[in-house]
Amino acid sequence: QVHLVESGGGLVQAGGSLRLSCAASGRSFNSHAVGWFRQAPGKEREFVATISWSGVDSYYADSVKGRFTMSRDITKSTVYLQMDTLKPEDTAIYYCAARNFDVSWLADKYEYWGQGTQVTVSS
């Protein structure tokens, strides 16, 4: 079983930056693709970004392209989401998730989920 714990959320003003972390434990985590999803009040959970097990391939939702960057540190079993030029529309609970091997933008393809971390961007 893979356990994921997000951290790094907080309150920032529009235009600011945050870096979210997703610390993982469990067997064969480094063979898993990792995704970030977010859910705002009254809205469905949506795809944000994903990165392959190698850390080479990454994909982003159109709404965050050019502003968010994923990376992973295999030695620390940690995945990061660097968020720059934040907008009020980015306000949501952010979740990291893992699935075996291939990347996906579909939430229901992910087996393991963290508890979420709140990101609030003020205007």
**Does the pLDDT value for residue 58 go beyond 90?**
yes
Task: Compute how many other C-beta atoms are within 10 angstroms of the C-beta atom of residue 117.
Answer: 22
In 3D, which of 5, 32, 29 has the Cα closest to residue 113?
A: 5
Average pLDDT of the residues in 58-81? 94
Average pLDDT of the residues in 44-67? 93
Q: Distance (Å, rounded) from C-alpha 112 to C-alpha 114?
A: 7
| Residue 78 bridge partners (DSSP) | 23, 73
Question: Which residues, at least 6 apart from 6, have a Cβ–Cβ distance to it below 8 Å?
Answer: 20, 21, 22, 94, 95, 96, 114, 115, 116, 117
The backbone torsions φ and ψ at residue 109, rounded to the nearest 5 degrees and listed phi first, read: -90, -5
The backbone torsions φ and ψ at residue 83, rounded to the nearest 5 degrees and listed phi first, read: -115, 115
pLDDT digits (tens, 9 = 90+) for 77-112: 899 999 999 999 999 999 999 998 889 999 999 999
- pLDDT at position 54: 79
Between 55 and 64, name the one with better pLDDT.
Answer: 64
pLDDT digits (tens, 9 = 90+) for 8-55: 999 999 999 999 999 998 776 778 899 999 999 999 999 999 998 778
- pLDDT at position 26: 78
